[in-house]
Amino acid sequence: MFYLYLFISIIIIVVNATNCLTCVDLLTLNETRDEKILSQTLDDDFKLCLSKIGHSPINAEQSKIIWNYIKYQCKLIENIPVSYFYNMGWILNGIDPEDFQYIKIDNIEIIEVLGHYHGLSLQQLSAIADQVRVNWGNKNTEDYSEYDLIALRQILCGFNRSEIENIYPDAYKFVF
């Protein structure tokens, strides 16, 4: 009887282990659209996992796969918690420029996270700048304060020349 109980316990552990991904598994996934894999939950604390992965250089393909996993787990991009963005780091490279239109960029903290990250492409920065224009619709570039510029940092590369020229010069004084 003891051996039967032991055997059943081992089977349960193996079945549970195969239904969960580890943080390391996320890095080893190949480009996948397989819902069976994407629907597996992560057995680690997700924010901790994002932090581990996001703070070490990963290639563009890996970051895109992890971004797709995050999107799938959260169902909609709009549902991704702000706290996830704080820990993404290198994973931000995997965000498709089109996806930025669904990220709520009216939160200054998200803008600051995106603005401080140096690995975004010009297309991504332009997409973020477009969202800033939409979400800050009542604020023109000449109204940007030094606090806005501190948050925007790299995102300013996505603005066009005339918009940057319209920024009041004193706003730059304390930023750089």
Residues 11 and 91 occupy one common structural domain: yes
Of the residues 56, 73, 95, the one at which a domain ends: 95
Question: Where in the sequence is the domain holding 164, given as residue range(s)?
Answer: 96-176
Which residues does the chain have with pLDDT short of 70? 1-21, 27-44, 176
* Token pair belonging to 153: 């940092």
Backbone angles phi, psi at 125, to 5 degrees: -60, -40
Residues 85 and 137 occupy one common structural domain: no
Domains of the chain: total: 2
String of DSSP letters for 45-75: -HHHHHHHHHTS---HHHHHHHHHHHHHHHS
The predicted pLDDT at position 41 comes to 64
DSSP 141: G
pTM for the full model? 0.78
Residues 44 and 90 occupy one common structural domain: yes
The predicted pLDDT at position 6 comes to 39
Rg (CA), the chain: 21
Alpha helices in the chain (DSSP H): 2-18, 23-28, 35-38, 46-54, 60-74, 82-88, 108-116, 122-135, 146-152, 161-166, 169-173
